[in-house]
Structure 1
Amino acid sequence: MNTTLSTTSAATEAQFGRRVAARLSAGTQDLPHEIGERLRAARMQALARRKVVRVLQTAPAVVPNGGAAAFGGGWWTRIGSVIPLIALVAGLIVITTLQEDNRTDELAEVDAALLTDDLPPAAYTDPGFAQFLKTEATAQR
């Protein structure tokens, strides 16, 4: 199986190389003699430096169907894939709940401060009044 893939790959590479060489050689008649000679010398250098590729044949790996092999796949992989997703969703739910609780506590403190203070009605419409109450509540702690 590996030999067939390697042979097919090598044949495809060789065919591609022949096509590229034919394309490059097609326009060389229109070039000046000096440029053509430089290209010929560059081709010779490239051919001298090319790598010889050896195809290694490997035997298929045999994994025993036992306890140690079960960790490499099967239901352990599925559990390992699902656990981080569950942890992420649980963490997002906890963060959202905590933020909602904090926001509710802040609003409750502002409402309690508004209801227990004696202020003129115009003070309730002031945009900076809620910020003032928050800073006062923080300073009293």
Structure 2
Amino acid sequence: MISRRMTLLLAAGIASLSAPASAGYSPFGTANFRAALEAGGPVLVHIDASWCPTCRAQKPILAKLLSQRDFAGVRAFAVDYDTEKAFMREISAPDRSTIIMFRNGGEAARSTGDTAEERIEALIRSAL
């Protein structure tokens, strides 16, 4: 029989797996990221850790902005800080709560630790 604690842990794990997709994120993988870059449109990468309070503050802001018509063409990826170290080295992003915008296959702008909606919006707009 599954304990109450195990049931809660399983539910939390399932919820965390579905959260990025519902927030407008595409499933992350280096192949998916490279394909998005090659397509040439704006690409957002959010270096995220489930335990990071700054990342948690950024998520609803990004979800709100990515749901707006102005940002419909932005392809967004949540990159797990704890498991994607090789990718983070590749894009020179050692810190969690980092948001990087790419345009035309290259980096256009980056921010680390920012939770101000207007600055995050400006960061995304810089790659449109």
Length-normalised TM-score, structure 1: 0.21
Answer 1 or 2: which has greater strand percent.
2
Higher relative contact order (CA 8 A, sep 6+): 2
Structure ID, larger Rg: 1
